[in-house]
Amino acid sequence: MLRYLGRRLVTMMATLLAISALIFFIIQLPPGDYLSNYIAELQSQGEAVTGEKVEFLKKQYGLDRPLVEQYVVWVTSLLQGDLGYSFEHNLPVSKVVGDRLILSVVLNFATVIFIYAVAFPIGIYSATRQYSWGDYGLTLLGLLGLATPNFLLALILLYFANVAFGTSIGSLMDPQYINQPWSVAKALSVLEHLWVPVVVIGTSGTAGMIRRLRANLLDELQKQYVVTARAKGLPPGRLLRKYPLRMALNPFIADLGSLLPQIVSGSVIVSAVMSLETTGPMLLKALQSQDMYLAGSFLMFLAALTVVGMFLSDVLLALLDPRIRLGEGSGR
């Protein structure tokens, strides 16, 4: 088990290193940089920009160095806990992001919990009561969840939350708690507002997980070992828990690795639509202005969330099914 975890940790670190290189160089692909955008903005305001000033600004922002050197400095700073300096805000990235990283983690992992908590019992019910009215109704809801765009569902739920519950629209907390230190009242305000974006982001993922668990469990229920257990008089509840459900859980847990990228990418768009205090709106603005250190830090944070989630998926699979970790060890 320790060798299995060691291999997964090494793979995770190598993946993050490769992602950091891709992020940094892809941000540089559009023509120009933050400085060229800044100079164009100054010129549009009628301010003269001399060659000496351009060189001074390049040296100040470190843009006169080769790309590889800029990348090495950025990665080294990340490893030391320094997220870099935001050109647009003239502040360290750590001060610019504020609570956005924490709120993004809370939002993404609350969405994962919501998806599994809803999909697990519904998937089991649909599989064990195939072709019942409940199965048909839940299947219809699942298809509606897959077909409804997130931004449309966000608008509907924002209106519903405001009319039915009086929840303020377009934030993860009440206005008086924004940019304030964390307290019990602020945490309760976040929990009060959290359910709307969680439902919006998690609806399509929940519908997909229900369909996959239902299909996997139906496949297991048709196998000979289940027929034999029924013939021996094993109670249906114990039979379901002891054999087919355990086998059907493997792909259900493995889907966490593919589910997290969907949640993370969906949360960026939904956060921008709903004006949430997460990394999404600020990330889009940083990409538009080519504020490479701010955008790169956000993208690395989202990538780390995804990679850590996939690592947890691998660990849970190894704990659930010994064949995975034993097979990994015997394959050396």
The β-bridge partners of 128 are none
Q: pLDDT band for 329, please (50, 70, 90 cuts).
A: very low
Return the pLDDT at 202. 87
- Stated as kind and residue range, the H or E segment containing 95 is helix 93-97
| Helix, coil or strand: residue 76 | helix
Summarize the confidence of residues 311-315 as an average pLDDT: 83
* Lowest-confidence segment of 45-59, 183-197, 281-295 by average pLDDT: 45-59
Count the alpha carbons within 13 Å of 120 in the hemisphere toward its beta carbon. 13
Summarize the confidence of residues 43-67 as an average pLDDT: 69
Rounded distance, CA 285 to CA 303, Å? 18
pLDDT tops 80 at residue 10 = yes
Rounded distance, CA 323 to CA 179, Å? 49
| 323 or 132: which leads in pLDDT | 132
> Could you give phi then psi for residue 86, rounded to 5 degrees?
-85, 120
Summarize the confidence of residues 98-105 as an average pLDDT: 81
Could you state, in order of their start, the residue ranges of all structural domains in the chain?
100-276
**Angle at which helices 256-274 and 292-320 cross, to 10°:** 140
- Residue type for 241, please? R
Q: pLDDT band for 169, please (50, 70, 90 cuts).
A: low
- Residue type for 309, please? G
Rounded distance, CA 209 to CA 219, Å? 15
Summarize the confidence of residues 213-234 as an average pLDDT: 86
Return the pLDDT at 178. 77
Count the alpha carbons within 13 Å of 187 in the hemisphere toward its beta carbon. 5
| Helix, coil or strand: residue 6 | helix
Return the pLDDT at 265. 75
Summarize the confidence of residues 111-131 as an average pLDDT: 89
Hunting for tokens 């949360």 — which residue is that? 267
pLDDT tops 80 at residue 175 = no
Nearest Cα to 115, choosing from 201, 202, 197? 202
pLDDT tops 50 at residue 160 = yes
Strands 91-92 and 85-86: antiparallel
Radius of gyration of the chain (CA): 25
Summarize the confidence of residues 238-251 as an average pLDDT: 82
Return the pLDDT at 269. 78
Residues 167, 192: contact at Cβ < 8 Å? yes
Return the pLDDT at 330. 47
Summarize the confidence of residues 151-171 as an average pLDDT: 75
What would the CATH number be for the domain defined by 100-276? 1.10.3720.10
- For the entire predicted model, the pTM comes to 0.78
pLDDT tens, residue by residue, 58-100? 776 666 778 788 788 888 888 887 777 777 777 788 788 777 8
